[in-house]
A and B are shown apart, each in its own frame.
Chain A
Amino acid sequence: MSFDVNKIRQDFPILNRKIDGKPLIYLDNAATSQKPQAVIDAIVAYYQTHNANIHRGIHTLSEEATQLYENTRKKTADFLGARKPEETIFTSGATAALNLVAFGWAVNYLEEGDIILTALSEHHSNLIPWQNVAERTGAKLAFFALTENGELTEEELKTKITEHVKLIVIAHISNVLGTIFPVKRICELAHAVGAKVVVDGAQAAPHMRVNVQSLGCDFYAFSAHKMLGPTGVGVLWGKMELLEPMEPTVFGGGMIDTVSPNCATWAEIPYRFEAGTPNIAGVVGLGAAIDYVQTIGMQNIEHHEQELTAHTLRQLTTIEGLRILGPKKAQARAGLVAFTVRGIHPHDISAVLNSAGIAVRSGHHCTMPLHKELEIPASTRASWYLYNTKEELDKLVEAINEAKKILR
């Protein structure tokens, strides 16, 4: 199928919005993506025609709701290249998924003195749970050193991945540096020393082909809302043999097998990890989002974003005083660029861009240790997706130049 960005844009009603009379240029996709009509329709249709609680309802609606929910599990498993649908657990988001691996599995798996290896660039969602796991188990956190361009070298991998390392937790793509980390290689080296690998795929699953089996990772987490789906839904995929010893972290209805007054046994995997009524409509929305991106083709999306990245990097490097965080080469990075402009606070850049209808984000993007390491209080991040155009990114560059004129 050929990729037609103008046709794609028509599927996203919000792109017709005006901000202060100017057409919206939405470049905050790393925070959350917009939703196509197909996803909105699927959620509305669910509530209008199928709404019921799932599992063990004998009535027709409950059957339908259960089917929609479980079909999405199959779709998600296929989307990730999982061996079985049961390896896919629905959570409320990437954060909840990472917390589930941390407190359901890692706290039992790790022992005092073990090393948890990660990077300073991790999102707080993939750092703070591990700080807490380290505190509870006596394991220690260690950090990969990144190059000046925010990349991980083969040499660094070989130096840091030693036999004391029991767990590596790393983003597939950094939400600030944009770096695509060499997850496949990390998994090879990790497994050679008997370590497991948890991958935070929040910025990757929406933007590139992901196959957990060819990556070779042990756990993979992502959020629906960054992938055209609704908020409040996420996915934890794990290898079945690791999900088996994992303990539930939330207890209640739907996750049990039998209950007596003083104890209970757990339901099968994945249900034991999905206590309470799940976000059924949200999961249905995720299903529609997966259908949507697969119809367009993940490879096409990846290719389109890569073109935009190369184009934007070329333009941004011409702006005097602008510092790009992360890799300088487009091929090494995903569709986002965080930057600073000498003498101008990131908030002020965002405010000037907003008055041009451009939505970007300024702050530390939930990566305080990285910003500290880079010796900047904050940065501005522009992030694109399948519906963004070269013209929009040209406007971004124009508006940054305008901000310099006004504020310097």
Chain B
Amino acid sequence: MDIYREELLELYKNPHNKGAIKDPTVSVDEKNPYCGDEIELQLKIEKDVITEAKFDGPACMISVISSQMLTEHIVGKSLDEVRSITKKDLLAMVNINLSTSRVQCATLVLKALTKALEEYEQDSKDR
């Protein structure tokens, strides 16, 4: 089946960005209430540019692949560029034929990213 293509399995088994950052600028948890999945996303932000991004959590294959792709994609990008990433953009990046319920798995990391950026802005204002 499509989602068990070799290259995807490889990405799932060795996701480079899985883990934690030493001194993250922001760190958020996001949950998928439908399946109970949880993802932790950590970002390092310097001068409004994302310099490092990592994710962790007990996630399914789709969620891992999508998190890997998104974290890879945003490193080196400005916050403005990252803010403009839509669900559609992410699904195009992931490029797997997904059923409706599994679209939720793929987009969990994007929800986490939105939340992380909001927290970052809030923190910057508070400072």
Q: Measuring CB to CB, which residues of chain A are less than 8 angstroms from any residue of chain B? A: 20, 345-348, 351-352, 355, 362-364, 368, 371, 377-378, 406-407
Contacts and interface: CB of A to CB of B under 8 A. Distances in A.
A312 B60 CA distance: 25
Interface string B96-117: 0000001001000000000000
A355 B36 CA distance: 23
B61 interface: yes
Given A351-B3, A355-B1, A406-B9, A345 B36 contact: no
A406 B4 contact: yes
Contact of B60 (A20, A347, A364, A406): A347
A81 B77 CA distance: 68
B35 interface: yes
Contact of B35 (A20, A355, A378): A378
B105 A347 contact: yes
A371 B36 contact: yes
Interface of B: 1, 3-4, 9, 12, 34-38, 58-63, 102, 105
Interface of A is mostly: helix
Contacts of B38: 377
Contacts of B37: 347, 377-378
Interface centre among A20, A368, A377, A407 (most CB of B within 10 A): A377
Nearest to A347: B60
A185 B122 CA distance: 56
Given A352-B4, A406-B4, A406-B9, A345 B59 contact: yes
A347 B62 contact: yes
Contacts of B1: 20, 351, 355
A173 to B, nearest CB: 22
Contacts of A352: 4
Rank and list the top 6 A-B pairs by shortest CB-CB distance, nearest first: A347-B60, A345-B60, A364-B36, A363-B35, A355-B1, A377-B36
Nearest to A408: B13
Interface centre among B4, B9, B36 (most CB of A within 10 A): B36
